[in-house]
Amino acid sequence: MQQTWWNRSAEILSPGLRVDAGARVHCCGELRVGGKVLIGRGATVSVPEGSSLQFAGDNYVLHGSQLAVGFGGSIRIGMRTTVDRDAIINGDVRIGSDCLIAPRVFMSSSTHSFDPTGTRTIRELDRDATREADVQTIVVGDNCWLGVGAVLLPGVQLGSHTVVGAGAVVTRAWPDGHQVLVGAPAQPLPQPRDQPA
């Protein structure tokens, strides 16, 4: 299967960008590549008109991953950050440098309304959602590791030097710090107490 390109542009054809066979890149918006970037086989990248995707450089988007920028939004990925297999990053997202995004991590900045009265269907609410009100940017600091299957909900701000354990669901902001978040909702793993001498 050959790679598929829509709307080729000089920015997409940047010397540092390598797109493996079978990867799909759909770009009507802005794609900036600051250095070497690999889009692996089977990965999907979508940048609609009015949106932007920025790679700082030395980035890998491995096979099966999906990067889908929200309309009018942007995804920014820092230096030496890797997005591993089958990860999904949707909407308006900022990821720092030196991060590891493990397989099957999911993050989306979009939310949807819910009508507890039941007078409107989920599909009606989804269709009528105002994008500006329903987008809450996700921010991941530098030197973070998001474990296999971790989920970051809209509006999460994850401080630098944070590990998110496998399968954890991060529902709120966490400050910078050398901490490990586990569980659903994610909470810091208790630090071991010092042993008596």
Residue 14's pLDDT is 66
Q: Where are the chain's structural domains?
A: 4-188
The 10s digit of each residue's pLDDT in 6-18 is: 434 434 446 788 8
Between residues 21 and 66, the one the model is more confident about = 66
Which tokens is 146 given? 């998001």
CB 171 within 8 A of CB 153: yes
CB 31 within 8 A of CB 12: yes
| Amino acid code (one letter) for 103 | P
The 10s digit of each residue's pLDDT in 21-39 is: 888 888 888 889 999 999 9
pTM comes to 0.85
Residue 193's pLDDT is 65
Query: How many other C-beta atoms lie within 10 A of the C-beta of residue 191?
Result: 9
**Catalytic residue positions, numbered:** 112
CB 188 within 8 A of CB 142: no
- Pairwise CA distance, residues 133 & 82, whole Å: 30
Query: How many other C-beta atoms lie within 10 A of the C-beta of residue 189?
Result: 14
> Which CATH number is 4-188 given?
2.160.10.10
User: Cβ contacts of residue 127 below 8 Å, gap of 6+?
Assistant: none
